[in-house]
Amino acid sequence: MDKVSGMTHSLMPDVLVIGAGAAGLAATVALSGAGARVSLLERKPFAGGRAYSYIHPALGEVIDSQHVLLGCCTNLVDLCRLSGASEHIRWYDSITFLEPSQADASPRRSEIKAGMLPAPAHNALSFLRAPMLSLADKSRIALGLLRFLHGYPTEDDEPFSAWLKRTGQTELAIRHFWEPIVVGTLNDTFERCSTRYAGQVFHESFLRSAAGGRFGIPSQPLSEFYGQVARWAEQQGARLSYRAGVESIEVLSSGLWQAVVSDGAGGVIRHTAPNLVLALPFEQTARLLAALPEDSPQRRSILPLLSRFTHSPITTIHLWLDREVTDLDHAALLDTRIQWMFNKTRIRSLESTSRSPETRQGPVGSHYIELVISASHAELGQRPEQILHSATEELAKFFPKFCQAEVLKSAVLKEVRATFSVTPGLDRFRPRSEAPGGNLFLAGDWTQSGWPATMEGAVRSGRLAAEAVARATGNTANFLVPGLPPAGCMKWL
């Protein structure tokens, strides 16, 4: 790869990156790997951004909000491969959907998994067998999926709710198929998700290839997982500073960018570089841009766009039980508020031999499970005890053994600003990586990454910003890796 260099004085970095989430890490790894001197400033004491884990102070347990990836997340997978983090991803070829028990029937399982048929029909046999849907629902879904066979809309104006109506989806097809997948991946209601991104999810993960739909779960707590990416960046020569929250940015008369960080003792530390990458959530980007002079081109062009973005929350419920209540590692739970169950003891058991004391797993013999409520707008106004109560009531309907189990510890985690919503029409406000006015670059899942609010979107944005930095220095380095090729009959479609 061409070197991205030739820009600096002896001690000054070529590039300052602010924010060590997936986007900032991806930009830092790309640029430092290509020979640029990079300094990365992060407000928190760890890397990973919103994909983080921490020791819950009251429980003394390491918790995180489970993040999953799919095989089609090629840039994230590539970043993990480079840094060695990929050894800590568990891959699954099937997703189990559970229906709750009814008065006269126990919970029912449907499993969607790739079989022998070539793409796009690889899931067809398991789909046809799935008892959660009737034949009429399945034929509606199949007709709907056919619309995403060749791709997905390039325009993002149509809400997915309108598409469901337009394609005559049945009530059960919506509840048992479209909803768990769309709300789980795009984290908002159908009205607030565009058909473009819903279509992308189904095209990439359901139709294009079996590999694209593989379901990956980090088996380490997330800060450990992304810690490996951060260490890889450092091994390539990047300098990472934690607890370095940037208070303001400005352009000096020399044309250099300066970021001002409080030193925690009443003073400030100034970092300067010819290029600045803001790899922050949109609201933090807005805060720093608002400190620039009113007539600065970066502020004038980017700031007005940011008011178009909105957040959507995710709530997770963490339970330590005195016994195992399911042999499943994960499952989609239908007809409930708690949409996904992750069996963290099983998922993390891959790590048990190399476990550090900080990542212990609850009282001896206990079983840790996590329940996820995506788009949890309703839960924001509820007390943790209320959420816990209704979640455990619902859980018993899926896992009868739960009725005998004792809850040893529990926690409810509300992430109010979990993701930005891919609301219809938002694409035209998602900025590209180059900000006008010179040497300021934007990254973050919310920028024009071509993906919704995901780790893959964040990594893509970081790599795109790195490419833009390279271009600004007359270099043509490419950091983005392509998506998975179509498989089976999709090659001819």
Ligand X SMILES: Cc1cc2nc3c(=O)[nH]c(=O)nc-3n(C[C@H](O)[C@H](O)[C@H](O)COP(=O)(O)OP(=O)(O)OC[C@H]3O[C@@H](n4cnc5c(N)ncnc54)[C@H](O)[C@@H]3O)c2cc1C
Under the binding rule (CB under 6 A), the answer on residue 120 touching ligand X is no
Under the binding rule (CB under 6 A), the answer on residue 276 touching ligand X is no
Within positions 17 to 36, which residues make up the interface with ligand X, using CB under 6 A? 18-24
**For the sheet containing 268-273, what is the strand order?**
246-251, 257-262, 268-273
- Nearest distance, CB of residue 178 and ligand X, angstroms: 18
Under the binding rule (CB under 6 A), the answer on residue 65 touching ligand X is yes
CA distance 351 to 218: 10
Under the binding rule (CB under 6 A), the answer on residue 229 touching ligand X is no
Binding mask 304-323 for ligand X (x = CB under 6 A): ----------x---------
- Nearest distance, CB of residue 245 and ligand X, angstroms: 4
Within positions 380 to 419, which residues make up the interface with ligand X, using CB under 6 A? 415, 418-419
Nearer to ligand X, 245 or 488 (CB): 245
Quick check: bond before 120 cis, omega within 30?
A: yes
Nearer to ligand X, 261 or 490 (CB): 261
CA distance 489 to 284: 45
CA distance 206 to 142: 11
Nearer to ligand X, 346 or 397 (CB): 346
Neighbours of 68 (CB within 10 A): 20
Under the binding rule (CB under 6 A), the answer on residue 95 touching ligand X is no
Q: How many residues bind ligand X (CB under 6 A)?
A: 35
Listed in order, strand segments (DSSP E) in 74-210 are 89-92, 94-99, 108-113
Under the binding rule (CB under 6 A), the answer on residue 248 touching ligand X is no
Choosing from 5, 161, 248, 284, the residue that interacts with ligand X (CB under 6 A) is 284
H helices present in 219-272, as ranges: 222-235
Nearer to ligand X, 24 or 33 (CB): 24
Nearer to ligand X, 120 or 213 (CB): 213
Two structure tokens written together for 237: 């020569």
Choosing from 96, 345, 361, 454, the residue that interacts with ligand X (CB under 6 A) is 454
- Nearest distance, CB of residue 470 and ligand X, angstroms: 19
Selected range binding ligand X among 62-70, 175-183, 268-276, 338-346, rule: CB under 6 A: 62-70
Nearer to ligand X, 44 or 108 (CB): 44
Listed in order, strand segments (DSSP E) in 263-349 are 268-273, 275-279, 311-321, 330-333, 340-343
Under the binding rule (CB under 6 A), the answer on residue 67 touching ligand X is yes
Nearer to ligand X, 67 or 140 (CB): 67
Under the binding rule (CB under 6 A), the answer on residue 281 touching ligand X is yes
Under the binding rule (CB under 6 A), the answer on residue 68 touching ligand X is yes
Within positions 351 to 380, which residues make up the interface with ligand X, using CB under 6 A? none
Under the binding rule (CB under 6 A), the answer on residue 278 touching ligand X is no
Choosing from 120, 221, 424, 444, the residue that interacts with ligand X (CB under 6 A) is 444
For β-strands 89-92 and 38-41, DSSP reports them as: unpaired
Cα-based distances in Å from 175 to 58, 121, 145, 147, 412: 37, 22, 16, 20, 25
Would you give the DSSP letter of residue 244? -
* Distant-in-sequence contacts of 135-142, Cβ < 8 A, 24+ apart: 136/170, 137/170, 137/172, 137/173, 137/176, 137/177, 138/173, 140/167, 140/168, 140/169, 140/170, 140/173, 141/169, 141/173, 141/177, 141/178
Choosing from 8, 12, 35, 44, the residue that interacts with ligand X (CB under 6 A) is 44
Partners of 265 in the beta sheet? none
The residues that touch ligand X, with contacts defined as CB under 6 A, are: 18-24, 41-44, 49-51, 65, 67-69, 245-246, 279-281, 284, 314, 415, 418-419, 444-445, 453-456, 458
